[in-house]
Structure formats: C-alpha cells, structure tokens
Amino acid sequence: MTSKNRPAAVVALARGNTAEQAAREAGVSGRTIRRWMEEPDFGRQVTATRTELLQLAVGQLAAASTKAVATLVDALDNEKGQARVQAARVLLDAVLALRESLDLEQRLAALEAAGGDAR
C-alpha cells in the first residue's frame, strides 16, 4: 500500500512541503516519510522531481518574458515620468540579473569541463 504512495510523497516534498504535509498528501504517516527520506534513492527522486518542476517554471517564465519585456518597452515610450523610470529600472535589473546568470553558467560549464579533463 505505502509504496504506491511514494510518488505523491516525492512530488509533495519536491514542491517544498514539510514531511508532515507530504505525509497528509500521500496518505501515509510522517514516520513513513521520514523513513523514506533516509533512503538515498528516494532523496534522488525528490531532487530530480524538484529539478523538473523548476525547469517547467523556468519554461513558463521564459514564455511570458517576451510579453513582459514588450510591456516594459512600451511603458518607456508611452507612460509618464515615474512609470517610465520604473520600467527602465526593471529592464536594467533584468539585464544585469540575466548577465550574471549567464556568466555563472559559463563559469560552471568551464569548471565542469576542466574537472572532466582531470579524470
């Protein structure tokens, strides 16, 4: 019975629920969740599911980002004073954050490549 509940517990934990919340969602005891959490394979499943959920969220954000940027650019031209300044700030903050993210991604890829060469 409880092994059928593991996928529900994995998803609940991947979404950031506590062990007790995950137990309620999966229909098992908190003790069962804590026991499962001690299993390396279960932990890997939670991590993999969390990664998948994050990738879906990033995809949704990416899909909406074009519209958001178009709205901000439009506000730069069509809004007055403070709204234009706010739109410009948001755009600049987004550019800086994206640049930092891309820079870190490139650095990580270089480190991973260098680590692979050392083996």
Q: Is 1 helix (H, G, I), strand (E, B) or coil?
A: coil
Phi then psi for residue 80, to 5 deg, are: -100, 155
CA distances in angstroms from 2 to 22, 85, 97, 107, listed in the order given: 13, 56, 44, 43
The pLDDT score that the predictor gives to residue 109 is: 87
The pLDDT score that the predictor gives to residue 1 is: 47
Long-range contacts of 10-13 (CB under 8 A, 24+ apart): 10/42, 10/45, 10/46, 10/49, 11/49, 13/37, 13/46
| Model pTM score | 0.61
Q: Is 16 helix (H, G, I), strand (E, B) or coil?
A: coil
CB 15 within 8 A of CB 22: no
The pLDDT score that the predictor gives to residue 105 is: 86
Chunk the chain into consecutive blocks of 10 residues (it has 119) and report each block's average pLDDT, rounded to whole numbers: 84 96 96 96 95 87 79 79 79 80 86 76
Residue 112 tokens read as 């991973």
The pLDDT score that the predictor gives to residue 30 is: 95
The pLDDT score that the predictor gives to residue 118 is: 57
Phi then psi for residue 38, to 5 deg, are: -80, -15
